[in-house]
Structure 1
Amino acid sequence: MPTRQSPDDDALVRHLMDTTGLAEAEVRRVIGDVLAFHAEPVEAYVRRRHLHLQTYGAKNAEIFPTLAAELTTRVVAAPRLTTRQLRRIIYG
């Protein structure tokens, strides 16, 4: 997955190289991995997490509040979604 790069990335790359001892190529790969992780669309995240929580026995009554809380902590905050909106993402 291509990553977005900006001029500020060079400062971040230098900072991480200085503080971690990683080589530039390793730092750029880690930054790309982090950006790709956080670029997951809200709908994909909700579907993935719902399935994961359901797999471990959670029921919708606990899953939907958990998802709503998790979405508020994402780096790029997702909009607040109601239980109904979350249900529609899962079941259409």
Structure 2
Amino acid sequence: MPGPYDDLVDHLVRSSPLSASEATRVVAEVVAYFAEPVQDYVRRRHTELRNRGWHNDRIFAALGTELATRRVAPPALSARQLRRLVYG
């Protein structure tokens, strides 16, 4: 059954050393990454950056910048809104 990203998979196979199955997996992972809900993304990234030793002020500034660069960017969130997504 043809998939919605077959043209992208074909392009990756032609333009890289990836096999068709590898390209299909990469495309699926990228699509899933960008489909992650904002709340899940913020919580996941907060944990990752906290584990690197970052403090919340730096984390929330980075998250604001990162969210603005998402393929479909959500509305700008304040540090307070980001903090609420993380801590409830």
- TM-score, normalising length from structure 2? 0.82
What is the distance in 1 between the residues matched to 2:19 and 2:27?
Answer: 12
Question: Structure 1 residue 16 and structure 2 residue 40: aligned?
Answer: no
| Structure 2: gaps (5+ residues) | none
What is the distance in 1 between the residues matched to 2:18 and 2:51?
Answer: 37
- Match of 2:83? 87
Among 48, 51, 58, the residue aligned to 2:44: 48
What is the distance in 2 between the residues matched to 1:74 and 1:36?
Answer: 13
Structure 1 pair 51–13 and aligned structure 2 pair: CA distance change class (3 A): closer
Structure 1 residue 22 displacement after superposition: 2.8
Equivalent residue pairs, number: 86
- Match of 2:61? 65
**CA shift digits 1:6-59 (9 cap, x unpaired):** 2xx222222111111433222212111111122211111111111222222222
Paired letter, 2:54: A
What is the distance in 2 between the residues matched to 1:23 and 1:65?
Answer: 39
| Structure 1: gaps (5+ residues) | none
Paired letter, 1:14: D
